[in-house]
Amino acid sequence: MSTLPPGPRGQFGAILGYLRDPLHCMVPMVARYGDPFTLPGKPPIVCTGEPEGIRAIYTADPDTLAPAAADMAVFLGDTSLILVGGAEHRRLRRLAAPPFHAARMRAHGARIIAITEAHTSAWQEGEVASIHALAQKISLDVILRVIFGLEQPAAMAAFAELLQRTLDGISPLLALFPALRRDFAGLGPFAAFRRRQRALHAALDEQIAAARATEPRADLLSLLVHARDDAGEALTDQELRDQLLLLVIAGHETTAIAIAWAFDALLRPENAAALERLRAELDALGPAPEPAAIDRAPYLEAACNETLRRYPLAPAPAPRRLLQPMELLGYKLPAGVGVAAGIGVAHFREATYPEPLVFRPERFLERTFSPFEFLPFGGGARRCLGAALAGYEMRLVVATLIRGFVLRLRSLRPDLGKVRAANAGPRHGVEVEVVERT
Ligand code: HEM
């Protein structure tokens, strides 16, 4: 008979630990139960941060794994790429992936810098601002332009507000406890969420209809509307809407959080040497460097990678349910059980990253980490579709802000993070004061 690895008995303690300290909640579990360990639930999820275990999950035949988060369909739609498996997943990936290639993303470099400058043009000495709030505005503008080609500020603002209101309506309680997703005669948080969601869907349907009615354009929506699969079939309106929603949701909050964490780390006094080295590298690029020159700056890339390592957005994103038994680190796991690559374990492994809680970009200059050791964007057949855009945007926004301002953190109290929808962002928003415009 197969036995699952040990783990906490009840779900409640694990969920509480996640809500209290989302970035580091898995480290004590490994200390207590070893690696791999099992998170209770339906299905139970076997989690590992061991590179060999992660390799086993990410290199398994994708047809033997299915997404384990199907209960999120109520938020994302039944045909969302992140919720479908097998041939349907392959089809949607083939249609949606080409516009996200790194080379295409580079076409947006100057615009990303311009958007960042526009959102900070009024900043003066003494100004107080939240880097998280700023980064949300920047990344939402970027994703709306990349996906919809939306240019007019009024159209962008209206859409951005609808989206933000819908996302804010997904409280961690609604996300974690499906039983709370009930409409109490039009009252309660779920009913309110549904109303906002309907308005957002109507706005998306309008965009889809407009893209269908016009000649092909360069934005992602247009590419998706005109794309055909191997059988010559186009995406249906629902498939289009579900993918657009996923891309906007997955594509802006995540990048904004990553940018905010970069400043939470770089502005701390203990990391002053890292900030100084980064500033010197960026200053050496001259007064108005091309986006490509910024993108090539090695210490900038190392600092962004170290941010993505030290502040994993989710400790174990996108669990997979086994459709066939799997051997994982000596355990014979039966079909039906879930498995997850524990980013929140892998990124804090002492053996891979000595002094793992210390923010030290130099690690990424001293050695190369395998995709099973450093995996901020997950891996395998479901690796993050927007990884190239996210990394590029993060480097350009961080560089533009560092080049433009001397900033000081308003509070040096450590920030343990706060769960926002599916991600862990900074609890206090990374509030800064502008010391100088440079
Ligand atoms: C710093 C920013 C980001 C981080 C850390 C991040 C991280 C991740 C992770 C860990 C996964 C799960 C991968 C897996 O299952 O192995 C994922 C999936 C995904 N991400 Fe991202 N992401 C980021 C930005 C973006 C952006 C900008 C977009 C789109 C514009 C995006 C779109 C997606 C999509 C569509 C998936 C689902 C892929 C699939 O199931 O096939 N992400 N992301």
- How many whole angstroms from 98 Cα to the centroid of ligand 1? 15
CA proximity to 245, closest of 210, 214, 199: 199
272: DSSP letter? H
- How many whole angstroms from 412 Cα to the centroid of ligand 1? 30
Residue nearest (by alpha carbon) to ligand 1 atom 14: 378
- How many whole angstroms from 232 Cα to the centroid of ligand 1? 27
Decide if 364 contacts 301 (C-beta within 8 A): yes
Q: Is 200 in the pocket of ligand 1 (CB under 6 A)?
A: no
Residue nearest (by alpha carbon) to ligand 1 atom 19: 384
Decide if 139 contacts 108 (C-beta within 8 A): no
**Residue for token pair 């590298």:** 281
- How many whole angstroms from 40 Cα to the centroid of ligand 1? 25
pLDDT value at residue 52:
98
Side chain identity, residue 422 = A
pLDDT value at residue 1:
41
Residue 433 bridge partners (DSSP) = 128, 408
Q: Is 246 in the pocket of ligand 1 (CB under 6 A)?
A: yes
Q: Is 27 in the pocket of ligand 1 (CB under 6 A)?
A: no
d(CA 96, CA 373): 27
pLDDT value at residue 424:
86
- How many whole angstroms from 249 Cα to the centroid of ligand 1? 10
Q: Is 382 in the pocket of ligand 1 (CB under 6 A)?
A: yes
- How many whole angstroms from 250 Cα to the centroid of ligand 1? 6
d(CA 350, CA 339): 23
Q: Is 247 in the pocket of ligand 1 (CB under 6 A)?
A: yes
Q: Which two tokens stand for residue 223?
A: 């590419």
Q: Which two tokens stand for residue 295?
A: 């993108």
Q: Please give the angle made by the CA atoms of 383, 385 and 391, to the nearest 5 degrees.
A: 95
Residue of 100, 377, 382 best suited for mutating to test ligand 1, as the one with most atoms within 8 Å of CB: 377
Decide if 11 contacts 40 (C-beta within 8 A): yes
What are the helix and strand counts (H, E) for the chain?
19, 12
Q: Which atom of ligand 1 is nearest to the CA of 246?
A: 35
Q: Is 390 in the pocket of ligand 1 (CB under 6 A)?
A: yes
For residue 258, the surrounding DSSP H or E stretch is helix 237-266
CA proximity to 398, closest of 219, 246, 263: 263
Three-state DSSP class for 418?
strand
- How many whole angstroms from 261 Cα to the centroid of ligand 1? 17
Which CA distances in Å does 276 have to 280, 281, 282?
6, 9, 10
Q: Please give the angle made by the CA atoms of 409, 415 and 418, to the nearest 5 degrees.
A: 125
CA proximity to 395, closest of 122, 127, 142: 142
**Residue for token pair 């200059």:** 365
- How many whole angstroms from 166 Cα to the centroid of ligand 1? 20
User: Is the bond preceding 36 in cis, omega lying within 30 degrees of 0?
Assistant: yes
Helix, strand, coil: what percent of the chain each, to 5? 55, 10, 35
Q: Is 254 in the pocket of ligand 1 (CB under 6 A)?
A: yes
Residue nearest (by alpha carbon) to ligand 1 atom 18: 384
Q: Encode the chain (438 residues) as per-residue pLDDT tens digits.
A: 458 999 998 888 888 888 899 999 999 999 999 999 999 988 999 999 999 999 999 999 999 999 886 577 878 888 999 999 999 999 999 888 887 888 888 889 999 999 999 999 999 999 999 999 999 999 998 988 888 887 777 777 888 888 888 877 777 666 667 777 777 677 777 888 888 888 888 988 988 998 899 888 878 888 889 888 888 888 899 999 999 988 988 888 899 999 999 999 999 999 999 999 999 999 999 999 999 999 999 999 999 999 999 999 988 888 999 999 999 999 999 999 999 999 999 999 999 999 999 999 999 999 999 999 999 999 999 999 999 999 999 999 999 999 999 999 999 999 989 987 678 889 989 999 999 998
Q: Is 81 in the pocket of ligand 1 (CB under 6 A)?
A: yes
Residue 425 bridge partners (DSSP) = 418
- How many whole angstroms from 251 Cα to the centroid of ligand 1? 7
- How many whole angstroms from 272 Cα to the centroid of ligand 1? 31
- How many whole angstroms from 67 Cα to the centroid of ligand 1? 14
Q: Which atom of ligand 1 is nearest to the CA of 390?
A: 27
Q: Which atom of ligand 1 is nearest to the CA of 139?
A: 27
Decide if 343 contacts 314 (C-beta within 8 A): yes
Decide if 310 contacts 347 (C-beta within 8 A): yes
Decide if 340 contacts 45 (C-beta within 8 A): yes
For residue 206, the surrounding DSSP H or E stretch is helix 188-213
Q: What is the largest CA-CA distance in the chain?
A: 67
d(CA 378, CA 387): 9
Three-state DSSP class for 419?
strand
CA proximity to 251, closest of 153, 66, 112, 152: 112
Q: Is 344 in the pocket of ligand 1 (CB under 6 A)?
A: no
Which CA distances in Å does 348 have to 49, 234, 358, 360, 416?
9, 43, 10, 13, 15
d(CA 163, CA 157): 10
Residue 333 bridge partners (DSSP) = 326
Q: Is 82 in the pocket of ligand 1 (CB under 6 A)?
A: yes
User: CB 264: neighbour CB atoms within 10 A?
Assistant: 26
Q: Which atom of ligand 1 is nearest to the CA of 320?
A: 15
- How many whole angstroms from 365 Cα to the centroid of ligand 1? 25
Residue nearest (by alpha carbon) to ligand 1 atom 43: 384
d(CA 371, CA 311): 17
Architecture of domain 11-437: Orthogonal Bundle (1.10)
- How many whole angstroms from 244 Cα to the centroid of ligand 1? 13
Side chain identity, residue 401 = L
